[in-house]
């Protein structure tokens, strides 16, 4: 039975940052696009924004990198005692941010609020407090979209703000609906907070054919130094330990094919450079041609200071012969969906969310359980050497992903949420 559609609402997205290619920014834009198809209008509140200024409300103090937020984070994480000055400044900043939320809602006549991860992971505690109090004071219908809960991160395990975490990360209320992106989060939210949630995984617009190579991107292989007969093996992630890139190096080494070139698209730095140095040493030991091309990859197509073309990640996928995704942990796995979308074969480590939420859907891809086996190597060789087999698995995966992770699936779920809130 078709869910009754409530049309014409003004939707207010709230986060610390809604800019760039991080998961929260990307997924919020997808939600806004699907909501627009049902005649809902989206507006944006954050500390950093790349949305149209005419529909945005930028408050620099709401950014998690703001100096006041950094000052507070240094004094609440890894501490078990909270100084009175910390409590005072938490409250003062929360009060200020709450006032800006009132201004945002009044300015754009917001009907429904969608906090994006701001009530989930405490990167900016005062903003979480502010949003929570604003929701309770106004009783505005709210959909809290949760990506990463604080209990999923070791660095948040020792703190002196248990009272605020209980209050705001996330809060509870009759006007509040919760959305999570995986089953484990749904179970933990119910166990820890006693609230139900709707599981809406990350999505891709599988209903629309992916862009192929064009005049701008047709020279990617040449520009990153690949020969015509080289095999382009893409690792489309940042260089951080949880991405498990050492497994990709091991795989390429065991393929024993000098044509294979392992290309990492993003840079290091978020968690230091020691991991990158280890990967370089390992690649040397394994005889793997490892290439870092972060200096040629950007969020947008543009020229760098030397006049060279910068490519987007989407420019790389059509050229790749294989994607490696050996992560040890992912909240969901956007790179996996991108691989399905561009019909690129992908080899994956069975991280917990994949094993619990994605694998049972029936996708066909080589999988490893924390280490590379000869079986995985044989499967990858078959994919690289047999075009007909390759085409059969990537089309199968595309069709399944369209069914479970397309925009139509998101639209159905958002209609359910909007309809349930209309009665609040």
In contact, 347 and 223? CB cutoff 8 Å: no
Cβ density class 183-222: b for 16+ within 10 Å, e for less:
ebbbeebeeebeeebeebbbbbbbeeebeeeeeebeebbe
Q: pLDDT value at position 7? A: 61
CATH code for the domain of 92: 3.40.50.2000
Query: pLDDT category, 71, cuts 50, 70, 90?
Result: very high
Residue-wise pLDDT tens digits, 271-305: 678 999 999 999 999 999 999 999 999 988 999 99
Q: Are 44 and 168 members of one domain?
A: yes
Query: pLDDT category, 10, cuts 50, 70, 90?
Result: very high
Q: Are 175 and 281 members of one domain?
A: no
Query: pLDDT category, 332, cuts 50, 70, 90?
Result: confident
Q: Are 413 and 321 members of one domain?
A: no
- The mean per-residue pLDDT over the stretch 31-57 comes to 95
Q: Are 411 and 384 members of one domain?
A: no
Domain presence at residue 210: no
Q: Are 70 and 147 members of one domain?
A: yes
Q: What is the 3-state secondary structure (H, E, C) of the chain?
A: CCCCCCCCCEEEEECCEECCCCHHHHHHHHHHHHHHHCCCEEEEEECEECCCHHHEEECHHHCCCCHHHHHHHHHHECCCCCCHHHHHHHHHHHHHHHHHHHHHHHHHCCCEEEEECCCCCCCCHHHHHHHHHHHHHHCCCEEEECCCCHHHCHHHCCECCHHHHHHHCCCCCCCEEEEECCHHHHHHHHHHHCCCCEECCCCCCCCCCCCCCCCCCCCHHHHCCCCCCCEEEEECCCCCHHHCHHHHHHHHHHHCCCCEEEEECCCCEECECHHHHHHHHHHHHHCCEEEECHHHECCCCEECCCCCEEECHHHHHHHCCEEEECCCCCCCCHHHHHHHHCCCCEEEECCHHHHHHHHHHCCCCCEECCCCCHHHHHHHHHHHHCHHHHHHHHHHHHHHHHHHHCHHHHHHHHHHHHHHHCCC
Q: Are 378 and 412 members of one domain?
A: no
Query: The pTM is what?
Result: 0.86
pLDDT at 347 over 90: yes
Q: Tell which wins on pLDDT, 327 or 153.
A: 327
pLDDT at 112 over 70: yes
- The mean per-residue pLDDT over the stretch 189-202 comes to 95
Tell me how many domains the chain contains: 2
Taking alpha carbons only, the member of 150, 129, 145, 318 closest to residue 220 is 318
Domain presence at residue 5: no
Q: Are 126 and 233 members of one domain?
A: no
Residue-wise pLDDT tens digits, 197-250: 999 999 999 999 998 899 999 999 999 999 999 999 999 999 999 999 999 999
Domain presence at residue 2: no
- The mean per-residue pLDDT over the stretch 88-100 comes to 98
Q: Are 194 and 325 members of one domain?
A: no
- The mean per-residue pLDDT over the stretch 333-354 comes to 95
Residues 6+ apart with CB under 8 A from 67: none
Residue-wise pLDDT tens digits, 150-176: 999 888 999 999 999 999 999 999 999
Q: Tell which wins on pLDDT, 26 or 22.
A: 26
Q: pLDDT value at position 3? A: 42
Q: Are 260 and 139 members of one domain?
A: no
- What is the domain extent for residue 383? 220-404
Q: Are 171 and 65 members of one domain?
A: yes
Q: Are 293 and 190 members of one domain?
A: no
- The mean per-residue pLDDT over the stretch 253-257 comes to 96
Q: pLDDT value at position 270? A: 58
- Reading the block at residue 224, the tokens are 């990153």
Domain presence at residue 3: no
Verify cis geometry, omega within 30 degrees of 0, for the bond prior to 170: yes
Domain presence at residue 33: yes
Q: pLDDT value at position 423? A: 55
pLDDT at 2 over 80: no
Domain presence at residue 109: yes
Q: Are 264 and 152 members of one domain?
A: no
Domain presence at residue 130: yes
Domain presence at residue 4: no
């Amino acid at each position: 039975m078709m869910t009754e559609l409530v049309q014409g609402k003004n939707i207010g997205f709230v986060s610390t940052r809604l800019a760039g290619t991080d998961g929260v920014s990307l997924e919020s834009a997808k939600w806004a696009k699907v909501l627009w198809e049902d005649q809902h209008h989206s507006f944006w509140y954050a500390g950093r924004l790349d949305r149209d200024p005419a529909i945005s409300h930028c408050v620099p103090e709401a950014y998690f990198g703001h100096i006041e937020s950094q000052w507070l984070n240094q004094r609440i994480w890894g501490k078990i005692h909270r100084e009175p000055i910390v409590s005072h400044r938490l409250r003062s900043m929360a009060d200020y941010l709450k006032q800006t939320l009132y201004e945002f809602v009044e300015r754009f006549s917001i009907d429904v609020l969608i906090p994006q991860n701001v009530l989930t992971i405490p990167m900016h505690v005062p903003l979480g407090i502010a949003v929570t109090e604003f929701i309770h004071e106004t009783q505005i219908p709210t959909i809290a979209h949760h990506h990463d809960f604080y209990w999923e991160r070791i660095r948040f395990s020792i703190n002196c703000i248990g009272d605020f975490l209980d209050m705001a990360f996330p809060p509870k209320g009759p006007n509040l609906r919760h959305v999570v992106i995986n089953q484990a989060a749904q179970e933990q939210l119910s166990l820890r907070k006693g609230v139900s949630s709707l599981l809406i995984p990350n999505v891709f617009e599988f209903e629309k054919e992916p862009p192929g190579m064009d005049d701008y991107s047709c020279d990617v292989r040449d520009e990153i130094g690949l020969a015509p007969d080289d095999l382009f093996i893409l690792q489309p992630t940042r260089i951080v330990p949880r991405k498990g890139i050492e497994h990709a190096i091991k795989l390429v080494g065991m393929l024993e094919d000098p044509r294979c070139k392992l290309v990492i698209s993003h840079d290091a730095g978020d968690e230091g450079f020691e991991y990158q140095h280890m990967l370089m040493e390992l690649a040397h030991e394994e005889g793997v041609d490892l290439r870092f091309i972060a200096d040629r990859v950007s969020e947008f197509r543009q020229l760098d200071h030397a006049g060279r073309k910068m490519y987007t990640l989407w420019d790389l996928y059509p050229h790749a012969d294989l994607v490696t995704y050996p992560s040890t942990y992912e909240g969901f796995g956007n790179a996996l969906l991108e691989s399905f979308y561009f019909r690129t074969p992908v080899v994956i480590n069975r991280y917990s969310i994949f094993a619990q939420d994605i694998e049972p859907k029936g996708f066909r891809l080589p999988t490893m359980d924390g280490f590379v086996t000869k079986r995985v190597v044989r499967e990858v060789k078959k994919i690289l050497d047999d075009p007909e087999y390759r085409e059969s698995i990537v089309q199968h995966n595309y069709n399944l992903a369209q069914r479970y992770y397309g925009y139509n699936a998101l639209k159905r779920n958002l209609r359910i949420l909007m309809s349930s809130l209309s009665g609040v």
